[in-house]
Structure 1
Amino acid sequence: MGYNARRAALSIIELFLERLAPYGLKPVDFSVMSTIHHNPGVTSRQLCAALNLLPPNLVGLIQSLEARGLIERKPHPHDGRAVGLHPTDQGIALMQQAEQTASDLEVEKTSRLTAAQRKTLLDLLQKIYL
């Protein structure tokens, strides 16, 4: 199972890297931005837990995304010690385009599957890691 999952991932990741290069997003950048985009106000701690990242690895990513003007830090509304991460207007626009590109790629790479098979595959894969 691992062998086949890895082969499938490799066949997608090569095109993913190529197609998301114009957005300046690597897979981990995309994951972090997507999580922030869909969960405005998420904290670094929550990001680490959701994406299985180590805090030291996230610090540089957050700084880079902030320097690019894609995210901003705002005080957390309920925890005075925490800071929420929010997409900027530029970050929202970028992620709308990048997520559409990623979605189109997934449809393309799974074109031999029916829509029901694609959904089943996604559901089964998520059962392994969620």
Structure 2
Amino acid sequence: MPAHQPVGTSTTKATPARGKRAPKDAGQQETAPAAEVFAVDQVNASFLESLLGYNARRASLSLVGVFVKCMEGFDLKIVEFSLLSLVGGNPGITSRQLCQQLDVLPPNMVGMIEVMTRRGFLERRPHPRDGRAMGLYLTEAGRALVDQAEPQLKASESAAVSHLSVEEQQQLLNLLQKLYR
């Protein structure tokens, strides 16, 4: 034991148990631990903004909002409109082809086709080359809906990206398609 240390004391400090304070030495003032407090005036998202996924998600949220708002007027979900648009552009398309193009599971596609058929937008006809398959076609009501909805959606989306030049819009479209094709 060192000569300058009083008898009965130790040179090591005991760590207090959780929630308890160590007893204070004589003459030492009790002080609360200094907690650092910060106020954020400007958010630093530089790491997140360096990630493609984060930026794609933010852009998607912005544009999906435009899509959803436009489709509300037609009482359609995005995937329902996408289905009708694909059938309109590809008369006779099969449900299997729709599943592949929209990345939708077959049981979900069957349900969607049934709903669109009940609403009077789609009809099934025998496929000309595959006796087991049915081709899908727009009804007159379906054609009218697609003919009205497509230009409205295009105009809404164009307004949402109007701060980009035509070249930037095309470049963005090409780059996004490269990610999933």
TM-score by length of 2: 0.70
User: What is the identity, as a one-letter code, of the residue corresponding to 1:84?
Assistant: G
User: Which of the two has higher C-alpha Rg?
Assistant: 2
Q: Which residue of 1 aligns with 2:61?
A: 10
- AA matched with 1:80: G
Q: Which residue pairs with 2:79 in the alignment?
A: 28
Structure 2 SS opposite 1:85: strand
Aligned position for 2:27:
none
Offset, 1:59: 1.1
Match of 2:3 in 1: none
Q: Give unpaired runs (5+ residues) of structure 2.
A: 1-51
The more displaced of 79-88 and 18-27 is 18-27
2: CA distance, partners of 1:123 / 1:24: 30
Counterpart of 1:53? 104
Letter matched to residue 81 of structure 2: F
Report which of the two has the higher share of helix. 1
> What percentage of aligned pairs have identical amino acids?
48
RMSD: 0.9
Superposition deviation, residue 8 in structure 1: 0.7
2:126 to 54, 58, 75: 75
**Deviation of the 1:15 alpha carbon:** 2.5
Aligned to 1:109: 160
Partner residue, 2:94: 43
- Asked if the contact 2:127/2:135 (under 8 Å) is kept, the reply is yes
User: How far apart, CA to CA, are the structure 2 residues paired with 1:75 and 1:63?
Assistant: 16
Conserved 8 A contact 2:66-2:157: no
How far apart are residue 7 of structure 1 and its match?
Answer: 0.4
Kindly state the Cα deviation for residue 125 of structure 1 after the two structures are TM-superposed.
Answer: 0.5
1:90 equivalent in alignment to 2:128: no
For the Cα contact (< 8 Å) 2:121–2:139, is it kept in 1?
Answer: yes
Structure 2: distance between partners of 1:125 and 1:14:
18
Q: Structure 1: which 4+ aligned runs deviate by more than 6 Å? A: none
Residue correspondences, number? 130
Task: Give me the whole-angstrom Cα distance separating, in 1, the residues matched to 2:66 and 2:99.
Answer: 26
Q: Distance in 2 between matches of 1:45 and 1:12?
A: 27
The residue type paired with residue 59 of structure 1 is V
